[in-house]
Amino acid sequence: MELLTLKTSRPFFSSIYRKFIIREDILVFKIISVYLLPFCLFYLAIIYLKRCLISQRKLDIPVISIGNITAGGTGKTPLVMYIASLYQRYGMGIIIASSGAGKGRVRYLNTEIEDEAVMIKNNFPNITITGKKIEEIIRGMNGDRKNVVIFDDGFHCHYIYKDIEVLVIDMANPFDNNMLLPSGLLRESKRELKRADVFILSHPYMVDKKEYQSLVNYLGYFKKPIFIMDYKIDALRNNRGEISSEVIMNKVVIAFTGTGSPFNFFSLLSTLSPSKIYGIIYPDHFNYQKQDIKELESTFFKKDAEYLITTEKDYVKLIKYDWKTPLFYLKIKPVIKSINEDEFDTLLFNALK
């Protein structure tokens, strides 16, 4: 794979983000992390002060929390959709509480923080999506029809009681440099892992056996169920339909994404065996403008590429543009595997009792 650097509508931020993601100069980042340590203590103090001052409230319906302990993409949204699909198949009414829903509704393609909510709504048009405030969730209830709340990114929300706390950990970068924000990517101390009821380890294809086993052994000390979340690529899709993912075998592909873990996306795409992947990294939740589209299309023709591929989360912000190139997104399906005798679906249903 070859990384490309394109001009973007937010050049300074894009440049800084790209350097942060790639981290070519590790020494510089280590030095910066040390200088930022005093701010970590301030950040930690705020976290614990909020927890002391907040009173927890329990809803009349079960709440399933999906969260992470690090900033950036760990794979929460595909898991939220997996759980929503599971409950929906059994006829349950579902509310998804998401910060991307604004004040209890999805503002379609308006802002850069809405992409996950729009993506969920596209896949589950009959599901109610609300904001994360308790009042918004309650307003989303409709008599007895709503049976369960799936709380997206809820690990750090202490004001609401969760019947089950699912923590998603990216195996490619589980705890970054083990430092809190802003010195590292940890949103809370690692000792808070004990609050989780279930661990889901995402992107297993990004690590070797030694790293895999080391993380599993470490989490084993918490004596909680551990599952591996792999991904199956269903197809390549766009607003015109879908095609088999096999068509990009031995083809030249330009892959781009504005997500927290771009290399996980590139690696997953590489399993389809294209002859060449040109990778382009945009900042997480990037709000694409017309000039970004022109740059992508220009690069597509310069590189004699045959397919332009992105993630589903990026795609919901791109369909409003008139594309001159074949743009598709990877339609993926999570595959949950147990490393012990527990069954993830069973745990989800037990949480409703």
In a domain, 263, yes or no: yes
Non-local (6+) Cβ contacts of 40 within 8 A are 179, 180, 181, 182, 183, 184
Residue 108: is its pLDDT beyond 50?
Answer: no
* Nearest CA among 325, 250, 264, 337 for reference residue 295: 325
> In the predicted model, what is the mean pLDDT of residues 250-265?
95
**How many Cα atoms within 13 Å fall on the side-chain side of residue 1?**
22
Token pair belonging to 70: 């690090």
Token reading at 99 = 């910060």
Distance CA 20, CA 317 (A): 24
Confidence label for 102 from pLDDT (cuts 50, 70 and 90): low
**Taking residues 62-68, what's their average pLDDT?**
96
Residue 248 covered by a domain: yes
Same domain, 176 and 288: no
CB 97 within 8 A of CB 154: yes
Question: What's the mean per-residue pLDDT of the chain?
Answer: 91
Residues 257 and 137 placed together within one structural domain of the fold: no
Q: Which of 77-86, 100-109, 165-174, 289-298 comes out lowest in average pLDDT?
A: 100-109
Q: Looking at the structure, do residues 192 and 265 belong to the same domain, yes or no?
A: no
Among residues 99, 103, 96, which one has the least CA distance to residue 113? 99
Q: Distance between CA 172 and CA 270 in Å, rounded?
A: 16
More confident residue, 213 or 104: 213
Residue labelled with tokens 């759980």? 83
Count of domains observed in the chain: 2
Are 173 and 303 found together in one domain? no
215 lies in the same domain as 252: no
pLDDT at residue 114, rounded to an integer: 66
b/e sequence 153-187, b meaning 16+ C-beta within 10 Å: bbbebbebebbbbbbbbbbbbbbbeebbbebbbbb
The beta strand positions in 225-326, using DSSP E, are 226-238, 241-243, 252-257, 276-281, 307-310
* pLDDT average, residue stretch 224-250: 95
Residue 242's CATH number: 3.40.50
The angle formed by the CA atoms of residues 54, 57 and 61, to the nearest 5 degrees, is: 155
Residue 134 lies in a domain: yes
Same domain, yes or no: 202 and 279? no
For residues 36 and 184, what is the distance between their CA atoms, to the nearest angstrom? 9
CATH assignment at residue 84: 3.40.50.300
> Residue 288 corresponds to which tokens in the numbers above?
């694409």
Answer whether residue 81 shows pLDDT above 80: yes
Query: Does residue 61 have a pLDDT over 70?
Result: yes
Beta bridge partners of 175: none
- Provide the β-strand partners of residue 297: none
Give the start-end residues of each E strand in 120-190.
Answer: 128-130, 148-152, 164-170
Per-residue pLDDT, 90: 86
Grade residue 233 by pLDDT with cuts at 50, 70 and 90: very high
Whether 80 and 115 share a structural domain: yes
Q: Does residue 87 sit in the same domain as residue 154?
A: yes
Q: Which domain holds residue 269?
A: 2-11+235-334
Q: Note whether 6 and 71 are same-domain residues.
A: no
**197 falls within a domain:** yes
Q: What is the pLDDT at residue 143?
A: 64
Alpha carbons 123 and 329: distance in angstroms, whole number: 14
In a domain, 286, yes or no: yes
Predicted local distance difference test score (pLDDT) of residue 238: 95
Residues 152 and 131 placed together within one structural domain of the fold: yes
Residue 19 maps to a domain: no
Answer whether residue 53 is part of any domain: no
Please list, in sequence order, all residues whose beta carbon lies within 8 angstroms of the beta carbon of residue 203, skipping any fewer than 6 positions away: 75, 170, 171, 172, 229, 261, 264, 267
The model's pTM: 0.91
Q: What is the mean pLDDT of residues 163-173?
A: 96
Q: Are residues 260 and 123 in the same domain?
A: no
Averaged pLDDT for residues 253-257: 98
Give the residue ranges of DSSP H helices in the chain.
Answer: 11-22, 26-35, 37-53, 76-89, 115-123, 134-140, 209-220, 262-270, 290-302, 312-315, 344-350
What's the CA gap between 143 and 24, in Å, rounded? 54
Exposed, middle or buried, 104 (CB in 10 Å: 0-12/13-18/19+)? middle
Q: What's the pLDDT at 113?
A: 42
String of b and e for 45-80 (b: at least 16 CB within 10 Å)? eebeeeeeeeeeeebebbbbbbbbbbebbbbbbbbb
271 and 310 fall within a common domain: yes
- How many DSSP H helices and E strands does the chain contain? 11, 13
- pLDDT value, residue 73: 83
pLDDT digits (tens, 9 = 90+) for 122-167: 899 989 999 999 999 998 886 655 689 999 999 999 999 999 999 9
- Percent of the chain whose pLDDT exceeds 90: 76
Asked if 77 and 202 count as a contact pair (C-beta separation under 8 A), the reply is: no
In a domain, 25, yes or no: no
